[in-house]
Structure 1
């Protein structure tokens, strides 16, 4: 179960992902219309595994890939943030239930419609022993505005006009317009704080296997052996006693091959792993050497329409393709039935600051697009698109990529379109999210898109006209107007009401085609326990709570 997301090397428009959480658990945040597959396996969400019996010397964790970078400005994918979340910390803390609480900022306040003020926590040390200062915060945040850096998180800062130290332990951020999304992003990589001295010293080597990083988290980055592993060691001077690491060491091993990863978990050579290949879950459950848990997720599996000048420029053709897709079959084949078909691009888990009625309204009345090949063929014919060609780009990354690409092309062909699969390398696939030239000649590609903040507006902001991650350059004037109003709306429920309108427009216009949502699976071996299963592992120091079983 792998997903690739945009990793830009230049300034981006509003980025994607994340939002609040429903105070609890929602079955992989499925919509009221979304129904589990009839053959779905039995599973339930787990918020917390058993407490550890004590500390442990070390444990080993499998990462499906080697991080692209541990520079927080570029940490924009699962493999990167899985490691970085235990080493570097942000101004706010995004918790496993997807709530935001104080982090390196002991308090924060919107002091005017266009200013956010952060009180920086005292008594915090970087891993080299130097104290955290307001100047470090200013230096760390300012990198996102530097075009020479080309931060993947620029979209969070796109409205920022000034980042200033306004007191001994105070930093104030000023935005050009009221921006509800800025503070929401401070619980992720966009809010990470690094030592200003380290940034200056390491320069271009910062965050790579040579320069490493120097942050404030419960673990410090001890070693990065390129192509093999990353080792973290406990930081004994960590400021938050409630999250003091229970393991002296964590070793991440890079295992691209899904079968090898499953075998290593079954043999006990590796103690745990996030993002389990779904076709290996039953093997692990039957192995008797550990437990599989399912945690809260904010991710949805979608088809991105990347060429709105081609046949898919007509919304009738997009709707026809949705009506031709066997999404229940895709869920079963790609995810072994773990999850539910979704008609929205967000999960309910990111609507936690909305009232119950607002959340219900956001998911009620969405078009379900039941499978109807004859009606779909007629829509394609009405659009004058019969016989026109679409290209689906994919890569040999995991089983879901294969299933989705084959099923989509078959669906397109069944309604009169000429469709073909274009297979590229995983690196070339990553480029689809960051390089417009890589998308030339490509009509569709697949993503598992997660949110990094507790606000569904993060998802729909991506689809505004001109945004970097609006890969197909879709444009709708009403959508843009409502989205702009939502960005400037401070009240969470009022903002969620507007976002609900955006969700309905996207469901009707289908700039992206939603497929399904699934929980976040994690395997915990027989030596360890204490993990909180949640996609928040991307930003929360999850490894610190793991100890001896």
Structure 2
């Protein structure tokens, strides 16, 4: 009888605990203009995807609220020689399926970033070897001294070797080819949230990880992530209470959101730089009426495009003041930023003269690829650029499309002229130089240098910057590299956009300058 009474009491307490959990369950509904294109953390090096998957997966080295480095799956790290870093791994960590996290998963994950289909090669392209010392210690040996390596790997997330083997997901999906595998739709990380439901471009549902090794400061037990591409619909959903958090708030709607009875806009500077790139490799452009040669191989043509763009006009009319025109591929807040760098002047007549000197007095036609749901007002910016270029008799055939088709296209380098945005994951200029400016190779250097700009002197400087520890010398080399790139007109920098998140007044969260949204720091009081 006593046993039956104990069972009854245990059942009652369990039921009460469940009821209490349900009563205290807090769902936060998040809307974004786009969706994470995959749940595979190595398949696309794009900040929205890495922000979303970063709630499920974790790196060895993470970030604090001020973006400083923080222990994550590694508790400590140190340089044991100029080319070797040793990482002590956190013990007692489990993947969501219960599998223990060990050094084998680290060796596997870093190797996975280097296989065909990986979009994360530029983070690990200078690794020589990743080796297991014991179950909770690994060493990373680099080809040259690499003092900023812990910063570089903060977005390289760890996957379960066993899970990937079991689910035939040994390599990441290739977004350029449209290939998918189990890791595209399912996830098994160590992070504070688990993926419960995945409906691409419809909604993804994340639930709190009850066995998480670390502290989850927020009270969200469930996060429902919904892509809403239409600006007006997204704003209406926030104002009506259908969603609790959304981004971005269109610049023209910030006052409206701030005026809502239960809503506010959180704004701040973003570290991302928006720029234009041009195919400088092919002997004939893929999408142009110029046959037998490539106009963009001529610096005068690139400079003409640059000087024909009215960046202040874009800031005033398209961005409504919420942008910072840039002369570089990095902006304020990035180590190595040069505040005294000057843009080439907006000068239509000078641009026409440059085109004529290059042999195009009547201009030419070229297609431009642009997303319309990735950056703030991206489609409108590209429309304005096209209108600006028409003043120098360049006819731009604008192809603006959802990022789901846009990114695979440009990442295949199936483009002649394109827009891209970049936030250096390391908050250091080396990242932009290595990924955007270095001559392209098959190891990951220049992986996002989609127009194949190439200057061996810039490459030489980038490698020296990677290993230099003297800050003054390093910054001088960064300046020299950017000066060379600017003199070549390797790309056309546009601006840094501003962040604007729409939030219900009952929600508390942390807005980071890299535009990542960690669910573990989100709370809601209903």
Q: Indicate whether the TM-score tops 0.5.
A: yes
Alignment of 1:143-158 (within 5 A): 143-147=112-116, 150-158=117-125
Aligned: 1:132 with 2:101: yes
Residues 330 and 300 of structure 1: CA distance in aligned 2, closer, same or farther (over 3 Å): same
In the alignment, structure 1 residue 58 sits paired with structure 2 residue 27:
yes
The partner residue of 1:363 within 339, 343, 348 is: 339
Alignment of 1:280-299 (within 5 A): 280-299=253-272
Match of 2:209 in 1: 235
Which residue of 1 is the match for residue 110 of structure 2?
141
Q: Distance in 1 between matches of 2:165 and 2:412?
A: 29
Q: What's the counterpart of residue 160 of structure 2?
A: 195
State the distance in 1 between where 2:369 and 2:44 align: 23
SS at match of 2:212: coil
Contact in 2 for aligned 1:219/1:245 (Cα 8 Å)? no
The 5-angstrom pairing of residues 248-259 of structure 1 reads: 248-259=221-232
Which residue matches 1:83?
52
Give TM-score scaled by structure 2 length: 0.83
**Aligned position for 1:167:** 134
Structure 2 contact 39–184 (Cα < 8 Å) conserved: yes
1:72 to 9, 28, 41: 41
Q: Cα distance 1:126–1:244, how it changes in 2: closer, same or farther (>3 A)?
A: farther
Structure 2 CA distance for aligned equivalents of residues 282 and 459 of structure 1: 34
Q: Which moved more, 1:249-258 or 1:368-377?
A: 368-377
Q: Give secondary structure in 2 for the equivalent of 1:187.
A: coil
The answer for unaligned runs of 5 or more in structure 1 is: 1-54
Per the alignment, in what secondary structure is the counterpart of residue 203 of structure 1? coil
CA distance in 2 between counterparts of 1:252 and 1:221 reads: 11
- Residues 500 and 288 from structure 1, CA distance in 2 versus in 1: closer, same or farther, beyond 3 angstroms? farther
Instruction: Report the Cα offset of residue 255 of structure 1.
Output: 1.5
The alignment covers a number of residue pairs equal to 473
Query: Which digits, 9 at most, give the CA deviation of each residue in 1:103-142, with x for residues without a partner?
Result: 1111111222221211101232222333322222222222
Q: Say which SS state the counterpart of residue 349 (structure 1) adopts.
A: coil
Check 1:275–1:111 CA distance in 2 against 1; reply closer, same or farther (3 A cut): farther
| Alpha-carbon distance in 1 for matches of 2:113, 2:40 | 11
Partner of 2:329, secondary structure, is coil
Q: Which residue of 2 aligns with 1:519?
A: 498
Q: Is the 8 A contact 2:383 2:398 kept in 1?
A: no
CA-CA distance at 1:101 after TM superposition: 2.2
1:461-472 residue pairs with structure 2 within 5 A? 461=434, 462-466=436-440, 467-472=446-451
- Structure 2 unaligned regions, length at least 5: 1-23, 170-180, 284-293, 441-445
Aligned partner of residue 113 in structure 2, secondary structure: helix
- Write out per-residue CA displacement over residues 9-47 of structure 1, whole angstroms, 9 at most, x where no aligned residue: xxxxxxxxxxxxxxxxxxxxxxxxxxxxxxxxxxxxxxx
Whole-angstrom CA distance in 2 between matches of 1:512 and 1:94: 30
Conserved 8 A contact 2:389-2:396: no
**Which protein is bigger by CA-based radius of gyration?**
2
1:430 matched to which residue of 2? Answer: 407
Displacement, 1:383? 2.7
Name 2:76's counterpart in structure 1: 107
**1:375 equivalent in alignment to 2:375:** no
Q: 1:526 to 1:289 in 2, by over 3 A?
A: same
The one of 511, 518, 522 aligned to 1:533: 511
Q: Within 2, Cα distance between the matches of 1:316 and 1:392? A: 19
**Hey, what does 2:361 align to over in structure 1?**
386
Q: Is the 1:157–1:182 contact (alpha carbons within 8 Å) kept by the matching residues of 2?
A: no
Instruction: Answer yes or no: is the 8 Å Cα contact 1:532–1:542 preserved in 2.
Output: no
For 1:277 and 1:202, how far apart are their aligned partners in 2?
A: 40
Structure 2 CA distance for aligned equivalents of residues 121 and 107 of structure 1: 9
Q: Distance in 1 between matches of 2:481 and 2:371?
A: 33
- Sort the Cα spacing of 1:425 and 1:99 in 2 relative to 1 into closer, same or farther, 3 A: same
Rounded Cα–Cα distance in structure 2 between residues aligned with 1:136 and 1:159: 20
More contact order relative to length (CA 8 Å, sep ≥ 6): 1
- TM-score, length basis structure 1: 0.80
- Provide, for residues 238-274 of structure 1, a one-character-per-residue CA deviation record: whole Å limited to 9, x for no partner: 2222x34421111111212222111111111000023
Instruction: Judge conservation of contact 1:97–1:296 (CA < 8 Å) in 2.
Output: no
Measured at CA, do residues 146 and 317 of structure 1 come closer, stay the same or move farther in structure 2, by a change above 3 Å?
A: closer
| Matched-pair contact (CA < 8 Å) for 2:355–2:363 | no
The CA deviation string for residues 154-212 of structure 1, in whole angstroms up to 9 with x for no partner, is 12121222211112410011222233454322111x2x112222222222443232xx1
177 and 395 in structure 1: CA distance in 2 versus 1, 3 angstrom threshold? closer
Distance 1:94 1:334, change over 3 A: farther
Asked if 1:206 corresponds to 2:147, the answer is no
Flag the 1:536–1:363 CA change in 2: closer, same or farther, 3 A: closer
- The CA distance in 1 between the partners of 2:200 and 2:438, in whole Å, is 38
Question: Given the alignment, which residue of 320, 328, 331 partners 1:336?
Answer: 320
Indicate conservation of the 8 Å contact 1:266/1:284, yes or no. Answer: yes
